[in-house]
Amino acid sequence: MSSPYGHTRTRVAARHALLAPDGHVKSVVPGIAGAETVILINEAMGAKFAQLLVTFEKGGRATFRQADVETFGYVMSGEATLMLAGGRERCPAGGFFYSAAGQVCEVFAQKAGTQLTIFQKKFVPLPGAMAPRSFTGNAAKIKGQPFLGDPDARLQVLLPDEPAFDMAVNIFTYQPGATLPFVETHVMEHGLIMLAGQGVYRLEDSWYPVAAGDAIWMAPYCPQWFVAIGKEPASYLYYKDVNRAAL
């Protein structure tokens, strides 16, 4: 949609960012072909991870294989075939994969418009622990658990809650009116994409209206809070770094 007066909800601040879809500009990323790739978040913004939105043409493909980088992918829409850890699997919307650092993961789009959110992080090994394994899953098979006792704010935990993993990816679903129970302020960084619905996100001292398609970066210690508004549940997929030493 054009903006004759230069308006946008996008805001990039020093320690948080909201990226609305109207500002997306594609990048050419080595290893990704037949697709429009938007690098929503990366080190240039101040983050320690990358978040990409990849929209494939039919027959589009992507290969992830960096020695020290782990990759998580979530199928937002369409259908992809994944070649990972010696296996081959068809992944519909809601399907996801974790590809451990140094392993090869290939993604083939089965339909035009197949869209993936990708989170990438430089893997930090845990001394004495085995490296995490690569695997695939589907969010539809993971039950949402009440967040801090609230059945109207449910969390689906997509990656194993094990010390070997240095990243977590979850889906948070809120019934209209449900909120994060308090203003969180924590060392973990977040990358987030709204999957459905709408709400208001507090980031530091600003409150932003947000809706499906919006992406958010929260630097470590960015105070954060959310309320779902409207008549439908709101949900978002988000990344956080976890399980490593403080110093």
- Site residues for Mn ion per CB under 5 A: 184
Q: How far, in Å, are 1, 35, 115 from residue 38 at the CA level?
A: 17, 10, 11
Q: Out of Mn ion, ligand UGY, none, which partner does residue 172 contact, by CB within 5 to 8 A per kind?
A: ligand UGY
Dist. CA 168–CA 180, nearest whole Å: 18
Q: Out of Mn ion, ligand UGY, none, which partner does residue 239 contact, by CB within 5 to 8 A per kind?
A: none
Q: Which tokens sit at 90?
A: 């068809």
User: Residue 91's beta-bridge partner residues?
Assistant: 80
Q: Which is nearer to ligand UGY, 98 or 172 (CB)?
A: 172
Q: Which is nearer to ligand UGY, 61 or 240 (CB)?
A: 240
With CB under 6 A as the contact rule, the residue among 110, 184, 198, 212 that binds ligand UGY is 184
One DSSP character per residue, 75-117 reads EEESEEEEEETTEEEEEETTEEEEE-TT--EEEEESSTT-EEE
User: In this structure, are strands 150-157 and 167-174 parallel, antiparallel, or unpaired?
Assistant: antiparallel
Shortest CB 171 distance to ligand UGY, Å: 10
Residues of span 210-239 touching ligand UGY by CB under 6 A: 224, 238
Q: Which is nearer to ligand UGY, 82 or 215 (CB)?
A: 215
Assess 240 for contact with ligand UGY (CB under 6 A).
Answer: yes
Looking up tokens 């699997």 gives 89
Q: How far, in Å, are 117, 174, 213, 239 from residue 156 at the CA level?
A: 16, 12, 19, 12
Binding-residue pattern over the window 137 to 176 for ligand UGY, x denoting contact by CB under 6 A: -----------------------------------x----
Assess 74 for contact with ligand UGY (CB under 6 A).
Answer: no
Residue 192: enclosing H or E segment and its boundaries?
A: strand 190-196
CA 205 to chain centre: 23
Q: Which is nearer to ligand UGY, 39 or 228 (CB)?
A: 228
Assess 106 for contact with ligand UGY (CB under 6 A).
Answer: no
Shortest CB 246 distance to ligand UGY, Å: 17
Q: Out of ligand UGY, Mn ion, none, which partner does residue 237 contact, by CB within 5 to 8 A per kind?
A: none
Burial class (CB in 10 A: 0-12, 13-18, 19+), 238: buried
Q: Which is nearer to ligand UGY, 60 or 199 (CB)?
A: 199
Q: Which is nearer to ligand UGY, 64 or 238 (CB)?
A: 238
Binding positions for ligand UGY, rule: CB under 6 A = 172, 180, 184, 190, 224, 238, 240
